[in-house]
A and B are shown apart, each in its own frame.
Chain A
């Protein structure tokens, strides 16, 4: 008879527990359903040389990184120096996906801030972005030798994320 009066308190404590955990989670971050799935195929013109195309199939056999960026995106400019560092490390080739951008603006940005990309593909209408589940620029994918997406980061890359997540992952993938 008396125990049932404790039920509201117990339920409340459980609720608070979940709310407390909730405080440490970000409700805006959308995890990608593409992890451990094949990178969607595409073939689109390159940014610098419009007559040439790029396709992820051409990267099979190596571990590589796809970075979605745009000249109109403020966070991309913040992230740029980190990308330059990543490219310098030589750990994996960095391919850019210029998302819904103007060619001239994009090329100017690369000239001004440096070009960390082996090359950039030009996704004019955002179709490729949709296939990759892009919803906010910048976004970065790590893709392995068989073309499977192993990691996605949403938002600008930082040195911390490179050191804690990406470099270790690259090392591990290259081993197998």
Chain B
């Protein structure tokens, strides 16, 4: 009975979303006020209906209602409660509902926090968001309803893939989708300004905090996914250039370009059409990512169960949304006015140069991801494009960008004397070169790649320190400034983590009997024993390992090998001793014939700096949003 209410809520939401999408846009075009004012109320109703639908689905999981097909396919009565709720978005239908629910969440936030905005603009923005919501709701209702019944009800569910039975599942998808979906706001603003024919800088000012917020969520979402894979998959990798990972990274790269481009457009009024194009592209890439993951077009560890019908629908939806946006762009963008003048050597130029690098790197990741498809579609055979390609291409393109990051913030708007900038930075350059040479030597082995990594990271850090010192002399820094420093610092921390782990990680694959010790990275790991341990929905063999350094015990580690009742494949739960400067990673393999166990141990120096760097980047974004300018708007908006 209750799941049917969920279904009806979705149908009703579709009807209202259509009204939300069509009437305000019509109203804005013809100047019909009575249609304009429908924008906010319809958005509110859609949000409430989707919230109801979402809660009903969650409820079905909570009470183990296996008469709902989706619940039966992804949950199980033995599943712990937390994972039952996470399972709501563990499959295609539920995750799509989450997508739409978060879209309406962003819509409602825009509706509530934009009281100071011109009502034509508001109507257009909410209208565009309504159209996108309608399309997705139509998709869900025709091909992917989570409320489909299974009659007679199954006695118990198929359960959730053990890999997904992890706190990561509870946080990673919502965070990621908040980011993906958040770019729809910048998209809606861009379309609204194209529709109005007035491509002024006000649009950029309004878009900026929303875009930054979406970018923060996406950064955190990707970082969470990477960290989850690291500790869950049992062999310590943190990024695989898997098509689905790339699908989230490409919008991130374009989103970063968009963030910086919006700064130019807001401050100097320039490059409006480029920024509009970036806004359209970022969201289009989010949609493209959705398509790639759910259509079966690419092989991936992450791919949802595929169905060609769904693939066709998403492709049509994608074509309509992106195609019409780009057509609108081609028609209206040329009419915009030029911004202020700036010389070739200026902050504007540096930001735009950075844009080029970001967009090209995004393009190359996209090219690598889609190339197998391209070759196959032309009947030229089947090839694979994997990590070796991406690492070879991505790193050389990003390296110059890191150099720019150290110089850019020193440049002035309009015009800057490059010679004087370089003169200020000589100290940073020196620090960078020293770090590039010294750190690899300290770590025990110099490689050019490691040297380059540390050089670039410390270049950014040193340049940032000099900036902070200089700013301190000039007066209190704005939140915006601090945000930029923190975010750029985050990037440097990230690069240090990647370089350290890439160049200096140690791994040992050994057979261990109780009492034996393996040494890695200066640490000793001794196997005490392996015992059988029961779990809520699995049986495990748990190893007890003593970690010591120089004879001094540091920790006890308990890696497990779990056999879930619902799956035939055993799962490895690695034990990780987390530290600021290193992780020790112990993974239990198979039991060998002579009662020994196969054990894999890793010493991973500074690996947590990878995700720490991402946290700093996100923090920087949050600080930037909390800048005074936006707080004033918030006060005015709620007044």
Which residues of A are at the interface with B, using a C-beta cutoff of 8 A?
A: 1-2, 5-6, 8-9, 12-13, 15-16, 18-25, 27-31
Known contacts A22-B376, A27-B373; is A16 also within 8 Å of B319 by CB?
yes
Chain B residues close to A by CB (< 8 Å): 273, 277, 280-281, 284, 291, 295-299, 308, 311-312, 315, 318-319, 322-323, 326-327, 329-330, 333-334, 370, 372-374, 376-377, 381-382
Query: Please, which residue of chain A has its CB at the minimum distance from the CB of B281?
Result: A8
Contact present for B315 and A23 (CB under 8 Å) = yes
Is there contact, CB below 8 Å, between A22 and B373? yes
| Cβ contact of A19, chosen from B315, B330, B333, cutoff 8 A | B315
- Whether B297 pairs with A8 at a CB distance below 8 angstroms is no
**Quick check: B323 and A9 within 8 Å, CB to CB?**
yes
Q: Is A27 a contact of B308 with CB atoms below 8 Å?
A: no
> Which of B318, B330, B370 gathers most chain A CB within 10 Å?
B330
Q: Quick check: A18 and B312 within 8 Å, CB to CB?
A: no
Provide a sorted-by-A list of 27 A–B residue pairs whose CB atoms are within 8 angstroms: A2-B330, A5-B329, A5-B330, A6-B330, A8-B329, A8-B330, A9-B326, A9-B329, A12-B322, A12-B323, A16-B323, A18-B373, A18-B377, A19-B291, A19-B295, A20-B315, A22-B373, A22-B376, A23-B308, A23-B312, A24-B308, A25-B376, A25-B377, A27-B298, A27-B372, A28-B299, A29-B382
Which 4 residue pairs spanning A and B have beta carbons closest together?
A: A9-B326, A21-B377, A5-B330, A22-B297
Chain B residues positioned under 8 Å from A9 (CB to CB): 323, 326-327, 329-330
Check A19 against B373 for contact (C-beta < 8 Å): yes
Q: What is the distance, in angstroms, from A161's C-beta to the closest C-beta of chain B?
A: 19
A21 and B381 CA atoms in complex are apart in Å by: 14
Which of B280, B318, B329, B377 touches A22 (beta carbons < 8 Å)?
B377
Tell me the minimal C-beta distance from B312 to chain A in angstroms.
6
Q: In the complex, how many angstroms separate the beta carbon of A35 from the nearest chain B beta carbon?
A: 11
Contact of B299 among A6, A8, A21, A27 (CB under 8 A): A27
In angstroms, Cα B295 to Cα A28, docked, is 13
The smallest beta-carbon distance between B550 and chain A, in angstroms, is 46
Q: How many A-B residue pairs have CB under 8 A?
A: 69
**B residues within 8 A CB of A20?**
315
Residue of A at shortest CB range from B323? A12
Cβ of A12 and Cβ of B326 under 8 Å apart?
A: yes
Is the beta-carbon distance between A18 and B334 smaller than 8 angstroms? no
Q: Across the interface, name the chain A residue whose C-beta is closest to B309.
A: A23
Return chain A residues, CB-CB under 8 Å to B322.
12
Residue of A nearest to B308 (CB): A23
Contacts of B370 in A (CB 8 A): 15, 18
B-chain residues with CB within 8 Å of residue A28 when the two chains form the complex: 299
Task: Provide the residues of chain B in CB contact with A23, threshold 8 Å.
Answer: 295-297, 308, 311-312, 315
CB distance from A135 to the nearest CB of B (A): 12
Residues of chain B within 8 A of A31, CB atoms compared:
381-382
Q: Complex formed: what's the CA distance from A32 to B48 in Å?
A: 54
Determine if A18 and B374 form an interchain contact, defined as CB atoms under 8 angstroms apart: yes
Closest to B377 in A: A21
Q: Which chain B residues lie closer than 8 Å to A15 at the CB level?
A: 370
- The answer to whether B334 and A5 have CB atoms under 8 Å apart is yes
- With beta carbons under 8 angstroms apart, the residue of B281, B319, B374, B376 that contacts A27 is B376
Least CB distance from B243 to A in Å reads 10
Q: How far is the CA of A19 from the CA of B319 in the complex (A)?
A: 11
B318 — which chain A residues lie within 8 A by C-beta? Answer: 16
Q: Determine if B323 and A27 form an interchain contact, defined as CB atoms under 8 angstroms apart.
A: no
| Complex Cα gap A24–B382 (Å) | 14
By beta carbon, the residue of chain B nearest A19 is B315
Q: Would you give the shortest CB distance from B33 to chain A, in whole angstroms?
A: 33
User: Across the two chains, which residue of chain A brings its CB closest to B328?
Assistant: A9
With both beta carbons as reference points, the residue of chain B lying nearest to A13 in the complex is identified as B323
Complex Cα distance A19/B308, Å? Answer: 12
CB closest residue in chain B, given A21? B377
Once bound together, how far apart are the Cα atoms of A31 and B383, in whole Å? 10
Taken together as a complex, chains A and B put the C-alpha atoms of A29 and B382 apart, in Å, by: 9
- A114 to B508 CA separation, bound complex (whole angstroms): 50
Cβ contacts under 8 Å, A8 to chain B: 277, 280-281, 326, 329-330
For B329, what are the chain A residues with a Cβ–Cβ distance below 8 Å? 5, 8-9
A13 to B323, CA, bound (A): 8
Q: Which residues of B contact A18 (CB under 8 A)?
A: 370, 373-374, 377
CA distance A23 to B295 in the complex (A): 7
* A12 to B321 CA separation, bound complex (whole angstroms): 11
Across the interface, name the chain A residue whose C-beta is closest to B374: A18
**B324: nearest residue on chain A (CB-CB)?**
A9
A37–B273 alpha-carbon span in the complex (Å): 55
B601 to chain A, nearest CB (A): 31
CB distance from B322 to the nearest CB of A (A): 6
B333: A residues at CB distance < 8 A: 5
Instruction: Report the nearest A residue to B243, measured CB to CB.
Output: A27
CB of B367, distance to nearest CB on chain A (Å): 11
> Which of A6, A19, A29, A30 meets B297, CB within 8 Å?
A19
**Chain A residues near B381 (CB, 8 Å)?**
31
Q: Which residues of A contact B312 (CB under 8 A)?
A: 23
- Give A13 to B330 CA distance when docked, in angstroms: 14
Known A-B contacts A19-B291, A21-B377; the reply to A30 vs B382 at CB < 8 A is yes
Q: Which residues of chain B have C-beta atoms less than 8 A from A25's C-beta?
A: 297, 373, 376-377
Q: A2-B334, A16-B315 are in contact. Are A27 and B326 (CB under 8 A)?
A: no
Rounded to whole angstroms, the CA-CA distance of A11 and B281 in the bound complex is 12
**Nearest chain A CB to B332's CB is how many angstroms away?**
9
What are the residues of chain A within 8 A of B382 when measuring CB–CB?
Answer: 29-31
Contacts of B296 in A (CB 8 A): 23, 27
Interface centre among B281, B312, B382 (most CB of A within 10 A): B382
A174 to chain B, nearest CB (A): 28
Q: Closest approach, in angstroms, between the C-beta of A71 and any C-beta of chain B?
A: 18
Q: Shortest Cβ distance from A121 into chain B, in angstroms? A: 28
* Distance of A37 from chain B, by nearest CB (Å): 15
Report chain B residues within 8 Å CB of A2.
Answer: 330, 334
Contacts of B273 in A (CB 8 A): 5
Q: A9-B323, A12-B326 are in contact. List 11 more A-B contacts (CB 8 A).
A: A2-B330, A8-B277, A8-B280, A16-B315, A16-B318, A16-B323, A18-B377, A21-B377, A23-B295, A28-B299, A31-B382
Q: A124 → chain B, closest Cβ, in Å?
A: 20
Bound form: Cα–Cα A21–B311 in Å:
11
A12 and B323 CA atoms in complex are apart in Å by 7
Residues in B neighbouring A21, C-beta threshold 8 A: 377
Chain A residues in 8 Å Cβ range of B330: 2, 5-6, 8-9
Contacts of A22 on B, CB cut-off 8 Å?
A: 297, 373, 376-377
> Which B residues are in CB contact (< 8 Å) with A6?
330
